[in-house]
Structure 1
Amino acid sequence: MLFILFLSLLTTSATAKEKDSALPRLTDASAAQAFIDSAEVVVIGFFQGEDSFGYKEFLEAASEVSPLPVALCTERDVWAAYDITSDTISIFRKADLHQENLPLSESKKLDSEGLTRFFRINELRYITEYNAVTAVGLFNSEVKTHLLLFANRGSADFTKLKDRLGALAPEYSGKFLFVLVNGALQSNARSLGYFGLKSRDLPRVGIYDGDSDRKWLLPSGEISTERVKEFCDSFLQGTLQIS
């Protein structure tokens, strides 16, 4: 029995080491910044060491969220550049130019499943598909204005339009969150209805401003980069009429 228990502990330790070694180590400020700049969303675990609270759970969660880039940083000199003072898990996003911190000293309970959900909720990209998980992160973001693409997944222009708006989104980082709403899902019928739309009316583009709880709908027609850009700029200039 003791031998089996010992073997189990060795296996668990070896597995943890494998997951640890699979993650990049950020040893200086330039490496950390290069990692943050490498993708739309990245996660960094700022830990003092392997014995830190949440370390093993972090490794478990990191293995569940591939291909989300995840790294480790144990260098306290690097922490200061990101206002980190204690063991913290941080998500860096380009879509709203935000750093979402989870200070582990404030967490009474921590498990890998909860961390995985934390990653998924806060995984906001240049164009984020709306669902029950991402909705939490979208509405918790400091950027309250959403540029919405309503389109039916599987339609001929779905991928083309998603890519077109995704390419435009970086220009509006920190001003709009670009959100894709799949009109083919019954669960999104309420979102379409708020704009007076049904699945058969798609694709369409709208703006929702959470601060004022107001909405605007781009008039029907071609959803070109130029029209969407003009739509966004008109909102920022305060010249859009409420739908």
Structure 2
Amino acid sequence: MEVALFVAFLVSSVIAAEKDPSLLRLSDKKAVEAFIDSAEVVVIGFLESEESRGYKELLAASNRVSSVPAAICSVKEVWADYSVSSDTIILFRKADDHQENLVVSRTKKLDSDGLVKFINTNELRYITEYNQVTAVGLFNSEVKSHLVLFAHSGSKEYVELQERLAALAPEFTGKFLFVLINGAVKSNLKSMNYFGLKSKDLPRVGLYDGNSDMKWLLPEGEITTERVRDFCHSFLRGDLKDVRQAGEEPKTEL
């Protein structure tokens, strides 16, 4: 009987915990820095308490976007280090060393759906797969130069090249956003046409500079880490300015 009661107590405790989850609490600057450094993209609610507007919504959103760790910091002495003066939810991303602020008091409608959209829209990683949602974050970033990998999902090169470029991307933080465009998706044909590419041409690597509205392709050949690195440095040195641009069609959004 006692064993049965004990088991029942454990089960009820687990159920209660599932019904009343909470966000990780960060108690000082070191904890915040460690959390930001723990993943490519994280979200922190700089909120006064768990009773603050935005906490329950952030908790619900974090449960729906499990790939992005979320936490809360209520220590106001830490807030100033991140230019926070009032309750604010911030998304930190390493791809362009950027923080995207959502000030609670300035947000008329704050719900979990809106926070999920906020996270998904701004969730840029070292190599971000292009789609209609990530496009917003990519083109709103202060980093306007994109290193683009065109490849077919499901091909033997796809995963290998994705991992290879994701490993290279941190070297160019703040200089390039690395973007993966799946050539197997029909809606991406416009991006391929923009670079003058057809399905049979893939995989290929291109570079787009939003500041000058110019674009180039890495010459055909094996897509190695060394060749892509040299391609990026050629752009940074200005060597590509006199190189013929890829494609001939007028600009369209990637």
Q: Is 1:164 aligned to 2:164, yes or no?
A: yes
Q: How does 1:170-189 map to 2 (within 5 A)?
A: 170-189=170-189
- 1:41–1:93: 8 Å Cα contact kept in structure 2? yes
Of the structure 1 ranges 190-199 and 55-64, higher mean CA displacement relative to structure 2 is found in 55-64
Distance 1:126 1:54 in 2: 28
TM superposition shift of 1:17: 6.9
* Partner AA of 1:102 in structure 2: L
TM superposition shift of 1:15: 7.7
Cα gap change, 1:17 to 1:26, in 2 (>3 Å): farther
* Partner AA of 2:235 in structure 1: F
How many residues end up aligned between the 2 structures? 228
Cα gap change, 1:39 to 1:171, in 2 (>3 Å): same
Q: How does 1:45-124 map to 2 (within 5 A)?
A: 45-124=45-124
The residue aligned with 2:3 is none
**RMSD of equivalent CA atoms:** 1.3
Alignment gaps of 5+ in structure 2: 1-15, 246-254
- 1:19–1:63: 8 Å Cα contact kept in structure 2? no
Runs of 4 or more off by more than 3 Å in structure 1?
A: 14-17
Q: How does 1:18-33 map to 2 (within 5 A)?
A: 18-20=20-22, 23-33=23-33
Q: How does 1:112-151 map to 2 (within 5 A)?
A: 112-151=112-151
Distance 1:68 1:58 in 2: 12
TM-score (norm: length of structure 2):
0.87
Q: Is 1:220 aligned to 2:225, yes or no?
A: no
Q: Percent identity?
A: 64
TM-score (norm: length of structure 1):
0.91
The residue aligned with 1:39 is 39
TM superposition shift of 1:221: 0.6
Distance 1:17 1:88 in 2: 25
1:4-37, Cα deviation, whole Å (9 max, x unpaired): xxxxxxxxxx6897232xx211000000000011
* Partner AA of 1:26 in structure 2: L
The residue aligned with 1:232 is 232
1:57-92, Cα deviation, whole Å (9 max, x unpaired): 111111111021111111101111111111001011
Distance 1:99 1:191 in 2: 28
- 1:92–1:98: 8 Å Cα contact kept in structure 2? yes
The residue aligned with 1:196 is 196
Alignment gaps of 5+ in structure 1: 1-13
- 1:214–1:242: 8 Å Cα contact kept in structure 2? no
Distance 1:34 1:152 in 2: 36
Of the structure 1 ranges 204-213 and 49-58, higher mean CA displacement relative to structure 2 is found in 49-58
